[in-house]
Amino acid sequence: MLKLLFLLLSAGKLSKVLLTGGSMLVSVIAYAFVFGWRYAAGFVGLIFVHEMGHYLAARQRGLEVSAPTFIPFVGAWIELKDQPHDVETEAWVGFAGPLLGSLAALGCYFAARETGSQLLLALAYAGFFLNLFNLIPLSPFDGGRITAVLTPRVWLVGVPVLVAMFFWRPSPMLILIAVLAASQVMKAWKYDPKDPANQQYYGVSTETRLTYGLYYLGLLTFLAIMAHDTHDMLGAIR
């Protein structure tokens, strides 16, 4: 019985590995048809590092979380089996993804400068832009999870940003995101800071709000500058 139990547990862990690895491989193959396999592998790798930031932060806070799952041309996600008990934990988990993802993009950038690799420079730009896009202050973006530590009403600022993104680069993905964000927008609109449940979940110190606000603005500024500069560098090469 003990051997059977061990085999079942091992199979469960193996299935998780296969789900992550298999979905990553499918994504690489799908992207490779459009961008080539080298870029596809690097791009999926950048997404993986981003998601692992969320994963590690969630585990560090004692939350049960699944390994990343990938869907081609959609992205990836981790499933929080234990939901955060307060907004600071949510902000911490939300911030870790863009932070680690930005470091991975920065690594590609420095490697590109050292080697002159256009591929690495293109991956650096993709990484900077991907993480910048995720900082839109609207849930379910990471930016929405981070800025919720200030107040959920900040999500209302993300609405015109998302609309502007759609007019700039129309995409079915943005429509899907808008559908997913609709309930969160209503939540922000109806948010009552005096509600006891809201006070319990969103009640944090002014120092915590200032700290995460500075982290958010700092990373946002850094990514905007790097995405702009790498885009110009790629344009000069073309």
Structure tokens at 65: 């979380």
Q: Which two tokens stand for residue 136?
A: 């839109």
Q: In angstroms, rounded to a whole number, what is the distance separating the alpha carbons of residues 179 and 173? A: 10
- Whole-number Å distance between alpha carbons of 125 and 62: 33
Rounded to 10 deg, the angle between the 37-60 and 87-115 helix axes is: 150
Q: Going residue by residue through the chain (238 aa), what tens digit of pLDDT does each one get?
A: 444 444 434 444 545 656 677 888 889 999 999 999 999 999 999 999 999 999 999 999 998 888 888 888 888 888 888 888 899 999 999 999 999 999 999 999 999 999 999 999 999 999 999 999 999 999 889 999 999 999 989 988 888 888 888 888 777 777 878 887 888 888 888 888 888 888 888 989 999 999 999 999 999 999 999 999 999 999 887 7
Q: CA-CA distance, 72 to 47, in Å (whole number)? A: 11
The pLDDT of residue 236: 86
Give how far Cα 96 sits from Cα of 57, 139, 203, Å. 6, 16, 21
Per-residue CA distances from 104 to 20, 46, 98, 169 (Å): 19, 7, 10, 25
